[in-house]
Amino acid sequence: MRALIQRVTQASVEVDGALVGQTGPGLMILICAMEGDEDAKARQMAAKIAKLRIFQDDAGKMNLSLRDTGGSALVVSQFTLAADTRSGNRPGFSTAAPPGEGERLYHLFTEALRNEGIACETGRFGASMQVALVNDGPVTIWLDV
């Protein structure tokens, strides 16, 4: 699995002008299931993100996790994280999981994150979404598991 996480003060996602998910202070998580990913990868990614120490403590050091801060997450499926841009000018996405498997793993990841004690909302798999966020820091981290 592949994720792009951003520490945010707020984030939201709309579909057809309607709000479908939002978070206050916490994380915006763009997630992509890759071809060959299995359930264990989704659970491993959720555990890693829940414990990742990227929030500031009282001394101003990135020493706290999302669990520690009580923050929440907005999880949005983004198959374009699988983009292969090594040749030509048009990205290829053949390394992304097939849509049915990608959706299943997306939901499994979200449930695993909730099982880690993280409140989360989601976008809508496969929909054209408008995402808004305020990146805090800015802190943006790429993760592969």
- What per-residue confidence (pLDDT) applies to 64? 98
Mean pLDDT within 116-140: 97
CB-neighbour burial class of residue 145 (10 A; exposed 0-12, middle 13-18, buried 19+): middle
Share of the chain above pLDDT 90, in %: 100
**What would the pLDDT profile of 18-63 be if each residue is shown by its tens digit?**
999 999 999 999 999 999 999 999 999 999 999 999 999 999 999 9
Report the CATH number at residue 85. Answer: 3.50.80.10
pLDDT of residue 123: 97
pTM confidence score? 0.96
The conformational region for residue 39 under phi > 0 = left, psi -120 to 50 = alpha, else beta, is alpha
Q: How many domains does the chain have?
A: 1
Report the pLDDT averaged over residues 117-141.
97
Tell me the catalytic residues.
78-80
Range of 96's domain? 2-144
Q: How far apart are CA 129 and CA 122, in angstroms?
A: 11
d(CA 94, CA 35): 8
